[in-house]
Structure 1
Amino acid sequence: MTGGPLITPQRLGIALVCAVALVGCCGLAWWQWTRFESASGTFQNLGYVLQWPLFGLFPAFMVWRIRKLDAQRKAEPPVVAPAPVVTVDAVRAPVVDTDDELAVYNRYLAELNARDQR
C-alpha cells in the first residue's frame, strides 16, 4: 500500500461518519418496523424498513467507489492532448475608397466570405 500511514485523522473521521450513518439509519429502520407492526402500520412502513439500511450503507459505498476510481486514475498513464494549431491571417491595411458606403460594405463582405472559404 502506498500513500502514507494507514490510519489518519481524516480516515478516522470518514469511518466515524460512515458508522454513525449506518447506526442511525438502522435505528430508523427499526422504528419503521415497529410502526409496521402497530395497528396503524402499512406496507409503506415495511418499504422504509428495507430502504433505511441501504441509505446507511451509501456513505461507505461512496468511500469505496471514490477509492476505486482514484486507484484507476493513478494506474492509467496521463493523457496528453496535442496543442491546438492556431493560424492567423495577415492583417491588411484598410482600403481607402471614395465609392459610396454600400460598395465599401459589399467589398468588406466579399473579403469576409473569401476568408471563410479558405
Structure 2
Amino acid sequence: MNRSLLTPRWLLLHLLFLAATIATGFLARWQWDRAHEAGGSAQNLGYALMWPLFGAFTIFLWVRVARMHKVAEAVPALPETGTAEAAPSISGAAAASAEQAAEKHRRRPLVPPPAPPVDDDEDPAMAEYNRYLAELNEADRRAG
C-alpha cells in the first residue's frame, strides 16, 4: 500500500471519486425507474444505460490518477546542477539514465527549425502561401 495515497489531499480525492461513482449509480437507478413509469421514454432508458458507463469511467480515472502518482514518486528528481555527483541518493545507473534524458531534453530546440522553402515548380499554391506568410511575419516584425 502506498502511504502517500493516504495524505489528506488524497483522502479528499478518494472521497470525491467515490462520491462521483455512487452518484452515477443513483442517477442510473433514477433514470431506470423513470424509463419504466408512464411518462418514461427511450431517452430515459438510454440515460439509464449511460450513467453506469460514466461510473466505470470515474473508476478508471481514479485508478489511472493513483498509478500516475505512484510512477511520479518513483522517478528520482534531478538536482539543480544536473550532475550525477550531486545526488548521492540516486543509484549510478538511474542517475546516468536521468542525466541522459535531461541532456536530450535540453538539446531539443524551443522552436522547431523552419521547413525548407518550396519552389514555384514544386507546388505553386504552397509557394504562394509561404510568401503570404512571410509577408505577414515581416509586417508583424515591423509593427512590434
Aligned to 1:74: 75
Whole-Å separation in 2 of the counterparts to 1:28 and 1:8: 30
Aligned to 1:24: 23
**1:8–1:26: structure 2 CA closer, same or farther, 3 Å change rule?**
same
Q: Calculate percent identity across the aligned residue pairs.
A: 35
Determine which structure has more spread, i.e. the larger CA radius of gyration: 1
Confirm whether residue 57 of structure 1 aligns to residue 81 of structure 2: no
Letter in 2 for 1:83: R
Letter in 1 for 2:16: V
Q: How many residues align?
A: 84
Aligned to 1:92: none
Aligned to 2:46: 47
Letter in 2 for 1:67: A
In structure 1, the gaps of 5 or more residues are: 86-118
> What TM-score results when the alignment is normalised by the length of structure 1?
0.54
Confirm whether residue 83 of structure 1 aligns to residue 84 of structure 2: no
**1:74–1:50: structure 2 CA closer, same or farther, 3 Å change rule?**
farther
SS of the residue corresponding to residue 50 of structure 2 reads helix
Letter in 2 for 1:53: P
> What TM-score results when the alignment is normalised by the length of structure 2?
0.46
Whose relative contact order is higher, 1 or 2, with alpha carbons under 8 Å and at least 6 apart?
1
Aligned to 2:133: none
How big is each residue's C-alpha offset from its partner over 1:64-99, in whole Å with a ceiling of 9 and x where there is no partner?
A: 2133345278399542316379xxxxxxxxxxxxxx
